[in-house]
Amino acid sequence: MTDEVTRGVTRRQLARRTLALGGALAIAPFPAGPAEAAAPESRPTLRHGSPERAGLLPVHLRRLVTDAETFLGPSPEHPWYAGAVLLAGRGGTVALHRPIGMAVRYRSYDEKTDTGVEFPAEQQIPMAEDTVFDLASVSKLFTSLLAVQQIERGALELEGKVAAYLPEFGAAGKQDVTIRQLLTHTSGFRAWIPLYNAPTHEEKLQLIWNQAPLSPPGSTYLYSDLNLISLQLVLERITGCALDVLLREEITGPLGLRSTRYNPPASWKPRIAATEDARKPWSGLERGLVWGEVHDENAFALGGVAGHAGVFSNAWDLAVLGRTLLNGGTYGRARILRPESVELMFTDFNTAFPGDEHGLGFELYQHWYMGAMATPRTAGHTGFTGTSLVLDPTTDSFLVMLGNSVHPVRTWRSGSAPRVAAGNNMARAVAVRPARGRTAWFSGMASATNATLTLPALDTSSGDARLRCALWWDVEPADALVLEATTDGGASWRPVPFTTERHAEQDHPTGTVTGWSGRVWYRLTTGLPADRRLALRWRYSTDRLYVGRGAYVDALCVGTGDRVLFDASRPADADRIEAVGWTASMD
């Protein structure tokens, strides 16, 4: 362990300091001083390379692109985006960096016919690898990073009250709201208010001061732009610097993010993706085509610099940011955070609100846009304009998907299907090696499916028959993998309890596993009922919404004390397996 880690908060110390309520951490300030003061050892920097070099399967990266291209057409009625830039990689290798569609396509939106009025073909601009996007709420990650830097330096306390830094904030029952609650959206703030209707900056702030919580602070999760706007005001008060200056000096400058900033200059406009034809009633302001300026109305009214929105960036810069965090806060020889600070950002503080897992700024374990990349450690965020960033520390992989999905109008987009499809394909691109031999049975990743893997009827009447196999699963929590048996030729099935073991044994009395297992193989054993014609099956059931990475079964063997009844490694036995929806996969 290095001196740097010894001085900070280790994972074990984090666990010891976890409080019972809300997963909050009671931490002391980290040593004061700029994050870059410590000289870090060099960590991976990004380079383009092949999928093989990244340890990814090319076929699934190709599928990621082809699936993304389908959303350029009706999905279901209108294109989900006019275009997008896709970037995916693992370790220090960017294995996919592909633009699709158009960055600028529509001049305006015709609400009478619900159609986009296109620019002449020669004035349209195709997507490019370096196209710059309005990140919308992905901007919240930058504000959160700046806040965690101040926590690291001792200038801000995670459990400190916001009113201790901004006395005006304490009005209307907000005196007990903490910095942590702003970062985890548990402050009680309503989701949004139209600050842009207030004529002066002071009156906009007064609207925030006068806002009363909808619920007691810490009692509920409610995603709110007001949390990050308030955090911006805290940061500007304690540092004496505007948020855009902090971003440049503390993040984009040290990391060399040359295409990331608030309020891009006019010279950038030809390489910026256009957003919406912003007009009432669907927009709060009458602005016409928004192109090169922030789309969010409140951020626009705040001068383009806001804690919740306003940052422009491109796919490469976001990948560098993601690589920095996966590296523990360093990129090359630049450090913006210590590893223990990154750990805080990826720690679930919202254990009291299952389904709304949240670190400091980062959302965690959200299948609705991460797809099968989602694990309890997977961190990410989305933006209303069609942007997203997903980081999976368990596989050291990252996915950037930047689309202009409000171009020409916000009502054309619906849900996050393109993000889910990209996340599923990226997860599938990370191979799962068989526990033994060259192949293992794989459930697939289809939604609304019952996939079954059935062994032939066996004579277990001796009473001492046991099943042994290797089991791997990463199952979306609403789905399940169950081991079942039948003695009547399949007319009825009943669960078979089993035990899994890796470092310790775990009983599964209902014969079921679900959720995330850590992306490792487990040994499964169970005694089998005595019957002359006992058949076993694995049934993988998924709902119609989202899926995990799926399930794998390998090294199947059924035997008694003195003989083998079934061994999948024997070709004759393997041929007797009935697989519906399962395939013999090499990865």
State CA 65 to chain mean position distance: 19
| Omega cis (within 30) before 408 | yes
Single-letter code of the amino acid located at 363: E
Measured on CA atoms in the order 343, 345, 346, 352, is the torsion positive or negative? Answer: positive
- Structure tokens, 497: 């309890």
Element (H, E) at 64: helix 58-70
Report the 10 Å Cβ neighbour count for 114.
Answer: 12
Of the residues 137, 224, 259, 585, which is catalytic? 137
137 part of the active site: yes
Question: What is the rounded CA–CA span in Å between residue 269 and residue 106?
Answer: 15
Question: What is the rounded CA–CA span in Å between residue 133 and residue 119?
Answer: 19
DSSP track, 486-549: ESSTTS--EE--EEEESSSEEEETTSEE-EE--S--EEEEEE----TTBEEEEEEE--SS---S
Name the nearest CA neighbour of 190 among 217, 167, 165, 163: 217
Question: What is the rounded CA–CA span in Å between residue 63 and residue 547?
Answer: 17
Could you tell me if 285 and 300 are in contact, meaning their C-beta atoms sit under 8 angstroms apart? yes
Cα angle: 13, vertex 16, 19; to 5 degrees: 130
> Which residues are the active-site residues?
137
